[in-house]
Amino acid sequence: MNKGVLRIYLNDPKLLKSILDALTPDNKILPKGMSISSTLDDGCLTLTVICEDGIGSLLNTLDELIESV
């Protein structure tokens, strides 16, 4: 199992919420063996990706999340 965490810090809670809302639909349909969870807390949006496939799949997913932001 591979795990990656992406944290986005901003002083604008509304913008963080907008980012989370924009990413949420993409996180609903995932390949088997992959999960993405998110938390929004005190100026920090945390996205956690867990992938049972190779590290390449994890890195590609994190890259796609970064591009979406």
Each residue's pLDDT tens digit, 7-66:
999 999 999 999 998 887 656 678 888 999 999 998 999 999 999 988 999 999 999 889
CATH number at residue 44: 3.30.310.50
Residue 30, CA atoms < 13 Å, CB-side half-sphere: 22
Q: Which domain holds residue 10?
A: 2-68
68 CB neighbour count, 10 Å cutoff: 10
Count of domains forming the chain: 1
**pLDDT of 53:** 85
The single-letter code of the amino acid at 39 is T
pTM: 0.83
Q: What is the SS3 assignment for 22?
A: helix
Each residue's pLDDT tens digit, 26-36:
566 788 889 99
